[in-house]
């Protein structure tokens, strides 16, 4: 998990009685990938839950290079990425930033998005999850 991260993600982990590692995250640069590598080398990590676009609460968007490196690191360690991309519609530039899943050739990313932030803010929770059975299987086994 990034530190800081969306509180709802921590609540979900708590409910599922899962353990979380907190990875240092910079307000502009995003997650510290060296710290992530260190954590992956020392702990039996199953999945990495983070936001690559408009991160909540810090607001940064990872560069394409950093998204590619993130995928490279997680693939090398056989770790599933749970990519929480609920704010991807709220970008400021000309082009919508791609999710890290766009770099994932091994299909190890659960890409999660939501319609509730742009279509029905503050009310219903309507979303979508794009996952491969491989990614789902590797988390639960």
d(CA 47, CA 49): 6
d(CA 5, CA 8): 9
Provide, rounded to whole angstroms, the least separation between the CB of residue 51 and ligand PLP: 6
Kindly state whether residue 6 participates in binding ligand PLP, applying the rule CB under 6 A: yes
Torsional sign, CA 79, 85, 91, 93: positive
Kindly state whether residue 75 participates in binding ligand PLP, applying the rule CB under 6 A: no
**How is 19-34 classified by DSSP, letter by letter?**
----EEEETTTEE-HH
Provide, rounded to whole angstroms, the least separation between the CB of residue 140 and ligand PLP: 20
Q: Which of 27, 127, 134, 136 touches ligand PLP (CB under 6 A)?
A: 127
Binding site for ligand PLP (CB under 6 A): 6, 8, 51, 56, 84, 86, 114, 116, 125, 127
């Amino acid at each position: 998990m990034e530190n800081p991260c969306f509180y709802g993600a921590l609540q979900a982990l708590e409910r599922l009685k899962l353990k979380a590692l907190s990875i240092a995250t910079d307000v502009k640069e995003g997650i510290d990938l060296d710290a992530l590598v260190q954590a992956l080398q020392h702990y039996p990590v199953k999945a990495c839950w983070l936001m690559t676009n408009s991160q909540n609460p810090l607001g940064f968007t990872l560069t394409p290079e950093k998204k590619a490196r993130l995928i490279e690191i997680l693939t090398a360690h056989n770790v599933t990425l749970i990519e929480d991309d609920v704010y991807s519609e709220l970008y400021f530039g000309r082009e919508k930033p791609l999710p890290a899943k766009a770099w994932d050739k091994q299909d190890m990313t659960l890409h999660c998005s939501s319609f509730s932030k742009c279509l029905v803010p503050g009310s219903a929770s309507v979303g979508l999850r794009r996952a491969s059975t491989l990614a789902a299987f590797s988390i639960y086994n």
